[in-house]
Amino acid sequence: MTSVARTRIRPQPAHFHFLNVLYRPVLTAPWTHWQPGSRVMRNIPWLTRYYSPPSLAAGRLRPHSTPACRLRHGRTLTSSPFLHRSSDPRVRNLGREISDEYASVRDVYLTPKHPIVLAHGLLGFAELSISSLVPPLRYWHGIEQALATQGCPLIITASVPPSHGIEERAAKLAADISASIASSKFSGDPVPVNIIAHSMGGLDARYMISRLQRANSNFRVAALVTVGTPHRGSPFADYVLHESAGPLYLPRLYSLLERAGLGTRAFAQLTTRYLATEFNPRTRDDPAVRYFSYGAVVEDLPLFSPFRLPQKIIAQAEGPNDGLVGVDSSRWGQYEGTLLGVSHLDLINWSNRARWTVREWMGVKRNFNAVAFYLGIADMLAREGL
């Protein structure tokens, strides 16, 4: 039996085009924003330490002289010095490197015995209806259907406020799980569930487990698997929330987001300072819950990818990352490994299909299939007895 909680919401232009609005200004920023001595360059010393003003002005963040971190066009993940342990000590923290283990779907997977909850990230949704003329857009594109086909006893697709604070998002996550369990075939003692969370969804789940679980709840969390979750925050969140960030200063968009019915508290809660000084000290792990995590690293991004800027900022401040979240920040509990050549959106099956079709015509083998990855997570949970 499969239960999928879906929410149909009105189109949100600011929501849907948010990344475009956020990153586009850097390409047309006035040269004066990046001149030595300007407010931007004075107040973000870690950025100027690695990037030259001409590169910043041109929207091409290029290191001054750090060969280990130089991201050259044309290199592959396996040939680039960026991912060689001998060149950058930060790369030693990649853990198990997963290159093509999830390139295709296998014939056989084990099925976990507990229901699976899918928890989306920042600006996410369960289902977004843009128009009656086109099919609805699903956050977990093809993933929930694959898990259901594999025989998982229950799939719960939560839908939390896209950009509200962690507290509100966690409360809605708990409510969605409880409602789905109540309407399912499961009854009696609290039903164990496995949560698979992408990005900020992992923080929501951790808060729910630590602060919102009640003895009289109709469910309990048996395991939490986080995928690309910023457990220690993101340097890019620090950057866009700094008033000296020029055209990328995010609070300038708050009024636009609020008019679209979206919250704004989530952004400040993704900074490295907030996670280090407030969230993590107050959000303790539950010893009765199994915690697993995956990270990802991407290097060669398309020229117009919205992740080019954050990827390079995070690379210099923290190290290898998926375009929005660093590998170090992704680690929580038992670290299952780092997916190579996979971006933050690839993790939820939002790959650019046209681009991959062209690359496959050119003989480039695709190394990651998100459906295979999540079926692999379900298989891992089953092998752990969950």
pLDDT of 267-311, one tens digit each?
999 999 999 999 999 999 999 999 999 999 998 888 888 889 999
- Residue 32 — very low, low, confident or very high, per pLDDT cuts 50/70/90? very low
Calpha distance 117→196 (Å, rounded): 6
- Residue 356 — very low, low, confident or very high, per pLDDT cuts 50/70/90? low
- Residue 186 — very low, low, confident or very high, per pLDDT cuts 50/70/90? confident
Quick one: tokens of 8? 């149909």
Alpha helices by DSSP H, listed for 25-165, are 39-43, 45-50, 53-57, 143-149
pLDDT of 61-85, one tens digit each?
433 333 333 333 333 333 344 454 4
Quick one: tokens of 271? 């900074």
State the pTM of this model.
0.76
Calpha distance 54→36 (Å, rounded): 10
Q: Please state the rounded mean pLDDT for residues 95-107.
A: 94
| 8 Å CB contact between 226 and 195 | no
Calpha distance 159→118 (Å, rounded): 9
- Residue 39 — very low, low, confident or very high, per pLDDT cuts 50/70/90? very low
Calpha distance 298→368 (Å, rounded): 12
Q: Is the pLDDT confidence value at 59 over 50?
A: no
Q: Is the pLDDT confidence value at 378 over 90?
A: yes
Q: Please choose, from the candidates 320, 352, 356, 314, the residue with its C-alpha nearest in 3D space to the C-alpha of residue 339.
A: 320
Name which of 200-209, 321-330, 346-355, 364-373 the model is least confident about. Answer: 346-355
Stretch (H or E) spanning 181: helix 166-182
Q: Please, what are the domains in the chain?
A: 13-24+87-307+328-383 (3.40.50.1820)
- Residue 129 — very low, low, confident or very high, per pLDDT cuts 50/70/90? low
Calpha distance 341→322 (Å, rounded): 8
Which residues on neighbouring strands pair with residue 327, listed in sequence order? none
